[in-house]
Structure 1
Protein backbone atom coordinates (compact mmCIF):
# COMPACT_ATOMS: atom_id res chain seq x y z
CA UNK A 1 0.00 0.00 0.00
CA UNK A 2 1.42 3.39 -0.99
CA UNK A 3 0.23 6.38 1.03
CA UNK A 4 -0.80 9.33 -1.13
CA UNK A 5 1.25 12.49 -0.74
CA UNK A 6 -0.81 15.61 -1.41
CA UNK A 7 2.09 18.05 -1.15
CA UNK A 8 3.97 16.18 -3.86
CA UNK A 9 1.07 16.50 -6.31
CA UNK A 10 0.55 20.18 -5.50
CA UNK A 11 4.22 21.00 -5.97
CA UNK A 12 4.45 19.09 -9.24
CA UNK A 13 1.31 20.66 -10.73
CA UNK A 14 2.33 24.13 -9.53
CA UNK A 15 5.85 23.76 -10.90
CA UNK A 16 4.74 22.57 -14.31
CA UNK A 17 2.04 25.25 -14.47
CA UNK A 18 4.64 27.93 -13.76
CA UNK A 19 6.87 26.56 -16.50
CA UNK A 20 3.96 26.71 -18.98
CA UNK A 21 3.20 30.27 -17.87
CA UNK A 22 6.84 31.20 -18.47
CA UNK A 23 6.61 29.91 -22.05
CA UNK A 24 3.32 31.74 -22.62
CA UNK A 25 4.79 34.95 -21.21
CA UNK A 26 7.67 34.84 -23.69
CA UNK A 27 5.36 33.98 -26.59
CA UNK A 28 3.05 36.94 -25.88
CA UNK A 29 5.75 39.59 -26.31
CA UNK A 30 9.29 38.23 -26.66
CA UNK A 31 10.82 41.67 -27.34
CA UNK A 32 9.82 43.34 -24.07
CA UNK A 33 12.33 43.07 -21.23
CA UNK A 34 9.64 42.83 -18.51
CA UNK A 35 8.18 39.70 -20.11
CA UNK A 36 11.62 38.11 -20.31
CA UNK A 37 12.36 38.87 -16.66
CA UNK A 38 8.96 37.53 -15.62
CA UNK A 39 9.50 34.39 -17.72
CA UNK A 40 12.90 33.76 -16.13
CA UNK A 41 11.44 34.18 -12.63
CA UNK A 42 8.49 31.90 -13.42
CA UNK A 43 10.79 29.29 -14.94
CA UNK A 44 13.14 29.37 -11.96
CA UNK A 45 10.32 29.04 -9.43
CA UNK A 46 8.58 26.35 -11.49
CA UNK A 47 11.76 24.32 -11.85
CA UNK A 48 12.46 24.55 -8.12
CA UNK A 49 8.93 23.41 -7.25
CA UNK A 50 8.98 20.55 -9.75
CA UNK A 51 12.38 19.28 -8.58
CA UNK A 52 11.34 19.45 -4.92
CA UNK A 53 8.06 17.68 -5.73
CA UNK A 54 9.90 14.82 -7.41
CA UNK A 55 12.14 14.39 -4.35
CA UNK A 56 9.25 13.81 -1.91
CA UNK A 57 8.86 10.14 -1.02
CA UNK A 58 5.64 8.41 -0.01
CA UNK A 59 5.60 5.70 2.66
CA UNK A 60 5.01 2.17 1.38
CA UNK A 61 3.64 -0.73 3.43
CA UNK A 62 4.22 -4.27 2.13
CA UNK A 63 3.77 -7.73 3.56
CA UNK A 64 4.20 -11.35 2.62
CA UNK A 65 4.34 -14.56 4.65
CA UNK A 66 7.90 -13.97 5.83
CA UNK A 67 8.13 -10.21 6.21
CA UNK A 68 6.26 -6.98 7.00
CA UNK A 69 8.02 -3.96 5.44
CA UNK A 70 7.68 -0.19 5.86
CA UNK A 71 9.68 1.94 3.42
CA UNK A 72 10.06 5.71 3.28
CA UNK A 73 12.76 6.72 0.82
CA UNK A 74 15.95 5.00 1.98
CA UNK A 75 14.53 4.19 5.44
CA UNK A 76 13.25 0.61 5.72
CA UNK A 77 11.82 -1.33 8.66
CA UNK A 78 11.47 -5.10 8.18
CA UNK A 79 9.69 -7.23 10.75
CA UNK A 80 8.63 -10.82 11.10
CA UNK A 81 4.78 -10.81 11.08
CA UNK A 82 4.74 -13.03 14.18
CA UNK A 83 6.49 -10.25 16.16
CA UNK A 84 3.55 -7.88 15.57
CA UNK A 85 0.68 -8.39 17.99
CA UNK A 86 -1.54 -5.45 17.05
CA UNK A 87 -1.57 -2.00 15.47
CA UNK A 88 -3.27 1.38 15.83
CA UNK A 89 -3.44 4.42 13.56
CA UNK A 90 -2.61 7.63 15.38
CA UNK A 91 -4.96 10.45 14.34
CA UNK A 92 -3.82 13.94 13.48
CA UNK A 93 -2.68 16.07 10.58
CA UNK A 94 0.10 13.62 9.81
CA UNK A 95 -1.14 10.14 10.61
CA UNK A 96 1.16 7.48 11.97
CA UNK A 97 1.06 3.72 12.32
CA UNK A 98 1.80 2.34 15.77
CA UNK A 99 2.72 -1.33 16.05
CA UNK A 100 2.61 -3.34 19.27
CA UNK A 101 4.39 -6.58 20.05
CA UNK A 102 2.55 -9.73 21.15
CA UNK A 103 2.52 -8.55 24.81
CA UNK A 104 0.83 -5.24 23.90
CA UNK A 105 3.84 -2.95 24.37
CA UNK A 106 4.61 -0.42 21.62
CA UNK A 107 7.42 -1.49 19.31
CA UNK A 108 10.40 0.86 18.98
CA UNK A 109 12.00 1.71 15.63
CA UNK A 110 15.20 3.58 14.73
CA UNK A 111 14.79 7.26 13.93
CA UNK A 112 13.97 8.33 10.37
CA UNK A 113 16.48 11.16 10.11
CA UNK A 114 18.64 10.84 13.23
CA UNK A 115 16.43 13.26 15.13
CA UNK A 116 15.66 10.82 17.94
CA UNK A 117 17.20 7.65 19.18
CA UNK A 118 14.00 5.66 18.61
CA UNK A 119 10.33 6.12 17.82
CA UNK A 120 7.27 4.05 18.58
CA UNK A 121 5.40 4.80 15.36
CA UNK A 122 5.90 4.84 11.60
CA UNK A 123 4.83 8.09 9.89
CA UNK A 124 2.22 7.96 7.15
CA UNK A 125 0.79 11.01 5.37
CA UNK A 126 -2.13 13.28 6.17
CA UNK A 127 -4.01 12.07 3.12
CA UNK A 128 -3.82 8.43 4.23
CA UNK A 129 -7.30 7.04 4.81
CA UNK A 130 -7.38 5.13 8.15
CA UNK A 131 -9.97 2.72 6.71
CA UNK A 132 -7.54 1.81 3.94
CA UNK A 133 -4.79 1.12 6.50
CA UNK A 134 -7.25 -1.04 8.47
CA UNK A 135 -8.09 -3.04 5.33
CA UNK A 136 -4.38 -3.51 4.58
CA UNK A 137 -3.58 -4.65 8.11
CA UNK A 138 -6.59 -7.02 8.11
CA UNK A 139 -5.28 -8.54 4.87
CA UNK A 140 -1.89 -8.95 6.57
CA UNK A 141 -3.61 -10.74 9.46
CA UNK A 142 -2.69 -8.16 12.12
CA UNK A 143 -5.57 -7.27 14.49
CA UNK A 144 -6.30 -3.71 15.65
CA UNK A 145 -5.22 -2.76 19.15
CA UNK A 146 -8.03 -2.90 21.70
CA UNK A 147 -7.79 0.50 23.40
CA UNK A 148 -10.68 0.05 25.81
CA UNK A 149 -10.04 -0.30 29.52
CA UNK A 150 -12.45 -3.20 29.86
CA UNK A 151 -12.57 -6.35 27.81
CA UNK A 152 -15.85 -7.60 26.66
Structure 2
Protein backbone atom coordinates (compact mmCIF):
# COMPACT_ATOMS: atom_id res chain seq x y z
CA UNK A 1 0.00 0.00 0.00
CA UNK A 2 1.53 3.35 -1.03
CA UNK A 3 2.20 5.91 1.67
CA UNK A 4 0.35 9.21 1.35
CA UNK A 5 2.12 12.44 2.32
CA UNK A 6 -0.23 15.25 3.31
CA UNK A 7 0.15 18.99 3.87
CA UNK A 8 -2.69 21.13 5.23
CA UNK A 9 -2.34 24.87 4.76
CA UNK A 10 -2.93 26.96 7.89
CA UNK A 11 -6.09 29.07 7.83
CA UNK A 12 -5.40 32.14 9.96
CA UNK A 13 -8.82 33.64 9.32
CA UNK A 14 -10.45 30.53 10.75
CA UNK A 15 -8.48 30.81 14.00
CA UNK A 16 -9.19 34.53 14.32
CA UNK A 17 -12.92 34.07 13.83
CA UNK A 18 -13.09 31.17 16.28
CA UNK A 19 -11.11 32.97 18.99
CA UNK A 20 -13.12 36.17 18.47
CA UNK A 21 -16.41 34.29 18.58
CA UNK A 22 -15.57 32.42 21.77
CA UNK A 23 -14.26 35.62 23.37
CA UNK A 24 -17.47 37.50 22.53
CA UNK A 25 -19.54 34.63 23.86
CA UNK A 26 -17.65 34.63 27.19
CA UNK A 27 -17.94 38.43 27.34
CA UNK A 28 -21.70 38.11 26.82
CA UNK A 29 -21.99 35.68 29.72
CA UNK A 30 -19.90 37.94 31.97
CA UNK A 31 -21.98 40.99 31.03
CA UNK A 32 -25.23 39.30 32.05
CA UNK A 33 -23.82 37.59 35.17
CA UNK A 34 -22.23 40.75 36.63
CA UNK A 35 -25.43 42.81 36.57
CA UNK A 36 -28.49 40.76 35.53
CA UNK A 37 -30.97 43.25 37.01
CA UNK A 38 -30.47 45.96 34.39
CA UNK A 39 -32.18 45.47 31.02
CA UNK A 40 -29.32 47.12 29.07
CA UNK A 41 -26.86 44.45 30.23
CA UNK A 42 -29.25 41.70 29.19
CA UNK A 43 -29.71 43.24 25.73
CA UNK A 44 -25.95 43.84 25.35
CA UNK A 45 -25.25 40.27 26.48
CA UNK A 46 -27.77 38.90 24.01
CA UNK A 47 -26.27 40.92 21.14
CA UNK A 48 -22.72 39.85 22.05
CA UNK A 49 -23.83 36.20 22.29
CA UNK A 50 -25.51 36.35 18.86
CA UNK A 51 -22.47 37.98 17.27
CA UNK A 52 -20.15 35.48 18.95
CA UNK A 53 -22.28 32.54 17.82
CA UNK A 54 -22.31 33.85 14.24
CA UNK A 55 -18.50 34.15 14.26
CA UNK A 56 -18.11 30.66 15.72
CA UNK A 57 -20.39 29.08 13.11
CA UNK A 58 -18.70 30.93 10.25
CA UNK A 59 -15.25 30.08 11.60
CA UNK A 60 -16.05 26.38 11.68
CA UNK A 61 -17.27 26.52 8.06
CA UNK A 62 -13.97 27.91 6.71
CA UNK A 63 -12.02 25.12 5.04
CA UNK A 64 -8.28 25.08 4.46
CA UNK A 65 -6.66 23.65 1.33
CA UNK A 66 -4.98 20.25 1.62
CA UNK A 67 -2.31 18.91 -0.73
CA UNK A 68 -1.26 15.27 -0.74
CA UNK A 69 0.58 12.84 -2.93
CA UNK A 70 1.38 9.16 -3.09
CA UNK A 71 3.52 7.20 -5.53
CA UNK A 72 1.12 7.80 -8.42
CA UNK A 73 -0.76 11.09 -8.12
CA UNK A 74 -0.87 14.59 -6.64
CA UNK A 75 -4.17 15.68 -5.06
CA UNK A 76 -5.42 19.12 -4.03
CA UNK A 77 -8.61 19.48 -2.00
CA UNK A 78 -10.46 22.58 -0.85
CA UNK A 79 -13.83 21.62 0.61
CA UNK A 80 -15.79 19.87 -2.15
CA UNK A 81 -13.33 21.00 -4.85
CA UNK A 82 -10.76 18.35 -5.69
CA UNK A 83 -8.01 18.09 -8.32
CA UNK A 84 -6.00 14.95 -9.07
CA UNK A 85 -2.99 14.96 -11.38
CA UNK A 86 -0.70 12.06 -12.23
CA UNK A 87 2.77 12.88 -10.85
CA UNK A 88 4.47 12.03 -14.15
CA UNK A 89 2.46 14.78 -15.92
CA UNK A 90 3.76 17.53 -13.62
CA UNK A 91 7.00 19.05 -14.89
CA UNK A 92 7.54 21.84 -12.36
CA UNK A 93 5.79 24.16 -9.93
CA UNK A 94 5.97 27.71 -8.65
CA UNK A 95 4.42 29.49 -5.68
CA UNK A 96 2.77 32.76 -6.61
CA UNK A 97 3.40 35.45 -3.99
CA UNK A 98 0.69 37.73 -2.70
CA UNK A 99 -1.86 38.11 0.06
CA UNK A 100 -3.28 34.72 -0.78
CA UNK A 101 -0.52 32.48 -2.09
CA UNK A 102 -1.22 30.13 -4.95
CA UNK A 103 0.45 27.04 -6.40
CA UNK A 104 1.04 26.96 -10.13
CA UNK A 105 1.83 23.64 -11.79
CA UNK A 106 3.51 23.23 -15.17
CA UNK A 107 3.39 20.23 -17.45
CA UNK A 108 6.50 18.53 -18.87
CA UNK A 109 6.67 21.00 -21.78
CA UNK A 110 6.61 24.04 -19.45
CA UNK A 111 3.05 25.15 -20.17
CA UNK A 112 0.79 26.02 -17.22
CA UNK A 113 -1.65 23.29 -16.27
CA UNK A 114 -5.30 24.39 -16.34
CA UNK A 115 -7.80 23.43 -13.65
CA UNK A 116 -11.58 23.93 -13.45
CA UNK A 117 -12.70 27.03 -11.59
CA UNK A 118 -13.32 26.76 -7.86
CA UNK A 119 -16.75 28.36 -7.90
CA UNK A 120 -18.38 26.71 -10.93
CA UNK A 121 -17.48 29.51 -13.30
CA UNK A 122 -16.85 28.78 -16.93
CA UNK A 123 -13.23 29.87 -16.89
CA UNK A 124 -10.33 27.63 -15.99
CA UNK A 125 -7.47 28.68 -13.79
CA UNK A 126 -3.80 27.89 -13.95
CA UNK A 127 -3.17 27.95 -10.21
CA UNK A 128 -4.49 26.37 -7.03
CA UNK A 129 -5.19 28.80 -4.16
CA UNK A 130 -3.41 28.28 -0.85
CA UNK A 131 -3.73 30.53 2.22
CA UNK A 132 -1.82 33.69 3.09
CA UNK A 133 -0.19 31.99 6.07
CA UNK A 134 1.22 29.16 3.97
CA UNK A 135 5.00 29.17 4.25
CA UNK A 136 6.63 28.90 0.79
CA UNK A 137 9.47 26.91 2.39
CA UNK A 138 7.03 24.24 3.54
CA UNK A 139 5.54 24.08 0.05
CA UNK A 140 9.06 23.70 -1.40
CA UNK A 141 9.84 20.84 1.00
CA UNK A 142 6.51 19.16 0.21
CA UNK A 143 7.04 19.41 -3.55
CA UNK A 144 10.64 18.21 -3.22
CA UNK A 145 9.37 15.16 -1.32
CA UNK A 146 6.96 14.55 -4.22
CA UNK A 147 9.89 14.78 -6.66
CA UNK A 148 8.57 17.87 -8.47
CA UNK A 149 11.27 20.49 -9.21
CA UNK A 150 10.69 24.24 -8.88
CA UNK A 151 10.25 26.23 -12.07
CA UNK A 152 13.41 27.96 -13.24
CA UNK A 153 12.51 31.62 -13.59
CA UNK A 154 15.69 32.70 -15.29
CA UNK A 155 15.63 33.40 -19.02
CA UNK A 156 19.16 32.16 -19.66
CA UNK A 157 20.49 28.63 -19.41
CA UNK A 158 23.42 28.13 -17.00
TM over 0.5: yes
**CA distances 1:27-57 after superposition (whole Å, capped 9, x unpaired):** 1011110000000000000000010000000
Aligned to 1:53: 59
Aligned to 1:113: 119
User: Where does structure 2 lack aligned partners over 5 or more consecutive residues?
Assistant: 1-6
SS at match of 2:92: strand
Runs of 4+ deviating beyond 2 Å: none
Work out the CA distance in 2 between the residues paired with 1:97 and 1:35. 49
SS at match of 1:7: helix
Aligned-residue Cα RMSD (Å) equals 0.7
**Paired residues, what number?**
152
TM-score, scaled relative to structure 2: 0.95
Aligned to 1:7: 13
Aligned to 1:16: 22
Aligned to 1:73: 79
User: Where does structure 1 lack aligned partners over 5 or more consecutive residues?
Assistant: none
TM-score, scaled relative to structure 1: 0.98
Work out the CA distance in 2 between the residues paired with 1:86 and 1:58. 23
